[in-house]
A and B are shown apart, each in its own frame.
Chain A
Amino acid sequence: MAERLRVNPIACEAHGMCAELLPEMISLDEWGYPIIDEHPIPPELAELARRAAQACPTFALLIQRDRPRG
């Protein structure tokens, strides 16, 4: 099952720590808000993605598991 990054746009305060920790998948727009790569997180980045989610001061970065569609 693939895992993907999600941002809660209401909680996000543009601290930008996620982009520092996971530049492979997250870049910042000109106001400092994250632009997320919506592809499944490659296994070699899974650990960094988890760290980025934990580092978010407002817990706005989430790692979401794909649900099998029914």
Chain B
Amino acid sequence: MNVSPILHAATTGPSAYWYLTRSSGAVTLLLLTLTLTLGVVDVRRFSSPAWPRFVVDSLHRTASLLALAFLAIHILTSVLDSFAPISLIDAFIPFTGTYRPFWLGLGAVASDLMLAVLITSLLRRRMGHATWRATHWLAYASWPIALLHGFGTGSDVKGTWLLALSIGCLIVVIAAVLVRIADGWPRDIGRRAAALGGTGVFTLGLLLWLPGGPLGKEWARRSGTPANLLGHSSASSSRSNINSVVSTGEPSSSEGEK
């Protein structure tokens, strides 16, 4: 292959949608992390001359809306892209699709939870504070589900940048959650203990699962990529390495994915 790989990818590689859906997914993760962290800073009523409360509060809101905008781009581009068979229904009704159904479904669950948080926040004036608050806690649940979705479907997990970004975000979120749990301790101790336990189990489970899961061998097949797409990958590998690499999301050093 004497054509430069980049030129080759640009002319015969996957559509711009495929690149967009991957990058918007990563940006969404970053913004959700920022939103969650600012939410904890907000609820702790932190304030300083340079960071008055209303600034933290409006940044929390702005970051969350920005995250949803990137989520919309993420969903739309993955539907528009013709390589992976993802329909608009798969984006909202979990576990029904044909492309990595479980891991894509987690993304649908996470975005459904975020929609619930968005709608209740928009209607906050019309609903009780307690109901709004209870629904708002779903945001904490959506974050780890979205992260698992990223690990399970992400094409770039084996590339260090996305792994580093994900782990970095995880550390920030764990720190924020610990700060939140410590705030007001030991009031509602049962709830706090449950949150602490959930965080610990999730983190431990994730670290145990990653090496044999998305970082292990043949993840594309094991995660439920349709067989014809896997076939496409090995058939096209003789023709163009980078094409198959980007489209199935396996690294170029892939050991003969079947």
A residues with a Cβ closer than 8 A to B are: 15-17, 20-21, 55, 57-59
Contacts and interface: CB of A to CB of B under 8 A. Distances in A.
What DSSP secondary structure best describes chain A's contact surface? loop
A57 to B, nearest CB: 7
Nearest to B124: A59
B129 A17 contact: no
A16 B56 CA distance: 13
Contacts of A21: 54
Tell me the dominant secondary structure on chain B's binding face.
Answer: helix
B129 A55 contact: no
Contacts of A55: 54, 57-58
Interface in B39-57: 45, 47, 52-54, 57
B125 interface: yes
Contacts of A16: 45, 47, 53
Interface in B57-116: 57-58
Nearest to A20: B52
10 cross-chain pairs, A with B, having the tightest CB-CB distances, nearest first:
A20-B52, A17-B54, A17-B53, A55-B54, A20-B54, A21-B54, A20-B53, A59-B125, A58-B129, A16-B53
17 contacts: A15-B45, A15-B53, A16-B45, A16-B53, A17-B52, A17-B53, A17-B54, A17-B57, A20-B47, A20-B54, A21-B54, A55-B54, A55-B57, A55-B58, A58-B129, A59-B124, A59-B125
Interface of B: 45, 47, 52-54, 57-58, 124-125, 129
A17 B129 CA distance: 17
A60 to B, nearest CB: 10
A55 B58 CA distance: 8
Contacts of B54: 17, 20-21, 55
Contacts of B53: 15-17, 20
Nearest to B52: A20
A20 B45 CA distance: 13
Contacts of B52: 17, 20
Contacts of B129: 58
Nearest to A13: B129
A59 to B, nearest CB: 6
Contacts of B57: 17, 55, 57
Contacts of A58: 129
Contacts of B58: 55
Nearest to B56: A17
A47 B156 CA distance: 47
